[in-house]
Amino acid sequence: MRGSALLVVASLIAVLAACSGSGSPSGGSQSPAQTRELPPAAAASWLVHQLDGGLAITTFESPAGSGKLVSAPDYGLSLDVFFALVGMKGRDSARADILGAVEKHKADYIGVPPTTSAGSLGKLLTAESFSSRGPNAQLISRLEKSVQRSGPERGRAQDSWAQSDKSGADYSNTIGQSYVVTALSSASSEESLTAEATDFLVKQQCRAGFFRESMESSDFTCDAGTPEQSAPSVDATSFAIQALAAVQASVDVAPAVVDSLRSAGRWLVRAQATDGSFSAAGVANANSTGVAAAALFATGHRAEAAKAARWLRNHQVNGSRAHGGLADELGAVAYDDAALSAGRHRGLTKAARPEWVRATAQAVHGLAVLH
For residue range 329-344, what is the model confidence (pLDDT) as tens digits? 999 999 999 999 999 9
pLDDT digits (tens, 9 = 90+) for 71-122: 999 999 999 999 999 989 899 999 999 999 999 999 999 999 999 999 999 9
Q: What is the pLDDT of residue 190?
A: 82
73 and 5 Cβ atoms separated by less than 8 Å: no
Query: How far apart are the C-alpha atoms of 335 and 95, rounded to whole Å?
Result: 23
Alpha helices in 234-352 (DSSP H): 234-250, 255-271, 286-298, 302-313, 337-346
Q: Which residue has the higher pLDDT, 163 or 25?
A: 163
Radius of gyration of the chain (CA): 20
Q: What is the mean pLDDT of residues 310-338?
A: 90
2 and 129 Cβ atoms separated by less than 8 Å: yes
DSSP secondary-structure letter at 111? -
Query: How far apart are the C-alpha atoms of 87 and 352, rounded to whole Å?
Result: 28
Q: What is the pLDDT of residue 321?
A: 59
Query: How far apart are the C-alpha atoms of 59 and 315, rounded to whole Å?
Result: 22
**pLDDT value at 49 more than 70:** yes
**pLDDT value at 326 more than 60:** yes
Query: Across the strands, what pairs with 134?
Result: none
Q: What is the mean pLDDT of residues 13-27?
A: 39
Q: What is the mean pLDDT of residues 273-297?
A: 97
Q: What is the pLDDT of residue 103?
A: 98
Q: What is the pLDDT of residue 251?
A: 64
Angle between helices 302-313 and 353-367 (to 10 degrees): 150
216 and 278 Cβ atoms separated by less than 8 Å: no
Q: What is the pLDDT of residue 105?
A: 98
How sure is the predictor about 271, in pLDDT bands with cuts at 50, 70 and 90?
A: very high
Output the average pLDDT for the chain: 89
Alpha helices in 147-231 (DSSP H): 174-186, 191-202
- Single-letter code of the amino acid located at 279: S
69-78, 82-91, 165-174, 247-256 — which is least confidently predicted?
247-256
246 and 9 Cβ atoms separated by less than 8 Å: yes
Residue 311 Cα distances to 36, 76, 272, 282, 366, angstroms: 20, 25, 11, 16, 10
